[in-house]
């Protein structure tokens, strides 16, 4: 692989990572909001005060007129007012929560017709948050049967070498596997160390959306077989324009497809596809036969927990801000997980008996209950896509060894340090034997 091609591929991967896990863009004006406790965490009944600063090019803005709202995350504000910050900084007395949960403060300022925004979220005994979603009595029977049906379907693996993506030490392939039937395929990018030997394996599962994939070549160069999959049954190496057409066309809102049936729901094929990807990985002659991990963020964070809950071959999992967690929270007066099936804007469409019967078989909470392996989890309190209330509802159900690394000020994005921390943990786990 030429150095020019390597640089181009590295640029594409970097742009992809920025798109999926981008930090907020910098602006001339910045609103910094923070709770008055360094860990952003309080006891129920304990009052929180939010500190606010408005900066322009790093300097405090005198007489800044702000608008602010305070209330439980994703719920209607319980307090909404305006205030002038004489010296560009001030405080907001936000009250408290009487039950475990999260209280969010959103501050905005309008300057020259442009609106700037800052948020901070205080947690109140989040380790005590309990789920709202039902735990079906036949949950295990349903998924046991689904796995048995999948096992009857041949893998029919097809591998195509991608010379332009290979490096001096790693071979890269476009892979497609037969999934739940002869008409259902799953596609991904496989990266295998070239040096002869046996290696641990890592499955990377995707966040929501429709896009191409480039594989986790950096981990393969460190001696890990990696497979990064898509979930939609389409090749993952096509032109970006095609994925845009599908994202806004045939696959728009795919997370809602056939939700009125637990057997036809879109995510059934997706969840089983993750198991099928492990079937392939563990069958590779280069696999060491014992060390398998799964990782991902958002929808991929959900799929990481789900895959580990369904597949006993997985020995470690690393999840960033898992989606699809306690999605019924909205029906109980609090935030529910992405894709917010029962929020005000979706309630009329989804609040039906058949859909409510389907959801518990797919909610991350019920897979979290069944986790038996060590896991590393990461998220922030300011996540507005995957509310921390929903993520804690799942996390608190995990009885296996677990570690939560909080980056409180993050929303639905990660610092580079978080990615490094997760990759280092996965490498340590996968290579410790």
Q: For the chain, what is the total number of helices (H) and then of strands (E)?
A: 11, 18
Is 412 annotated in the active site?
A: yes
- Residue 12 CB-density burial (10 A; 0-12 exposed, 13-18 middle, 19+ buried): middle
Helix (H) or strand (E) holding 279: helix 266-283
Helix (H) or strand (E) holding 430: helix 416-430
Three-state SS for 118-187 is: EEEEEEECHHHCCCCCCCCCCHHHHHHHHHHHHHCCCCCCEEEECHHHCCCCEEEEEEEEECCCCCCEEE
Is 298 annotated in the active site?
A: yes
How far is the C-alpha of 170 from the C-alpha of 152, rounded, in Å?
A: 32
Helix (H, G, I), strand (E, B) or coil at 311: coil
b/e 350-368 (16+ beta carbons within 10 angstroms → b): beeeebbebbbbbbbbbbb
Question: CB–CB of 188/27 below 8 Å?
Answer: no
Of the residues 55, 340, 383, 390, only one is catalytic, namely: 383
Q: What six digits make up the tokens of 191?
A: 């990266």
SS3 content of the chain, % helix, strand, coil (to 5): 30, 30, 40
- Residue 402 CB-density burial (10 A; 0-12 exposed, 13-18 middle, 19+ buried): middle
Of the residues 34, 55, 298, 325, only one is catalytic, namely: 298
- Residue 63 CB-density burial (10 A; 0-12 exposed, 13-18 middle, 19+ buried): exposed
Residues assigned a catalytic role = 298, 383, 412
């Amino acid at each position: 692989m030429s150095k020019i091609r390597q640089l181009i591929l590295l640029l594409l991967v970097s742009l992809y990572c920025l798109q999926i896990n981008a930090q907020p863009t910098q602006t001339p004006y910045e609103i910094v909001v923070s709770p008055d406790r360094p860990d952003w965490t309080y006891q129920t009944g304990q009052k929180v005060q939010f500190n606010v600063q408005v900066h322009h090019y790093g300097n405090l803005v005198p007489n800044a007129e702000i608008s602010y709202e305070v209330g439980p995350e994703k719920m209607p504000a319980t307090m909404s007012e305006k205030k002038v910050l004489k010296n560009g900084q001030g405080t907001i007395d936000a009250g408290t929560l009487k039950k475990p949960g999260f209280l969010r403060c959103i501050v905005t300022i309008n300057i020259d017709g442009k609106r700037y925004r800052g948020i901070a979220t205080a947690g109140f005994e989040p380790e005590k948050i309990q789920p709202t979603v039902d735990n079906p009595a036949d949950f295990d029977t349903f998924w046991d049967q689904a796995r048995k049906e999948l096992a009857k379907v041949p893998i029919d693996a097809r591998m195509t070498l991608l010379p332009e993506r290979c490096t001096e030490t790693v071979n890269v392939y476009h892979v497609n596997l037969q999934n739940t039937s002869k008409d259902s395929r799953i596609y991904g990018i496989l990266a295998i160390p070239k040096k002869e030997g046996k290696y641990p394996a890592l499955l990377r599962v995707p966040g929501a959306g429709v896009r191409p994939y480039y594989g986790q070549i950096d981990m393969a160069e460190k001696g890990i077989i990696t497979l990064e999959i898509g979930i939609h049954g389409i090749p993952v190496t096509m032109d970006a324009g095609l994925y845009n057409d599908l994202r806004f066309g045939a696959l728009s809102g795919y997370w809602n497809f056939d939700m009125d049936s637990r057997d036809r729901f879109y995510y059934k094929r997706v969840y089983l596809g993750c198991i099928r990807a492990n079937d392939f990985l563990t069958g590779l002659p280069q696999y060491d036969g014992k060390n398998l991990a799964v990782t991902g963020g958002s929808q991929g964070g959900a799929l990481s927990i789900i895959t580990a809950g369904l597949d006993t071959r997985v020995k470690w999992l690393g999840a960033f801000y898992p989606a699809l967690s306690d999605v019924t929270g909205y029906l109980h007066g609090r935030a529910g997980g992405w894709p917010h099936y029962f929020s005000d804007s979706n309630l009329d469409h989804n609040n039906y008996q058949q859909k409510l019967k389907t959801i518990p078989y797919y909610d991350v909470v019920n897979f979290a209950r069944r986790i038996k392996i060590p896991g590393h989890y990461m998220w922030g309190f300011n996540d507005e896509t995957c509310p921390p209330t929903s993520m804690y509802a799942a996390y608190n159900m995990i009885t296996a060894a677990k570690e939560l690394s909080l980056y409180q000020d993050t929303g639905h994005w990660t610092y580079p340090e978080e990615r490094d921390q997760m990759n280092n943990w996965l490498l340590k786990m996968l290579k410790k034997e």
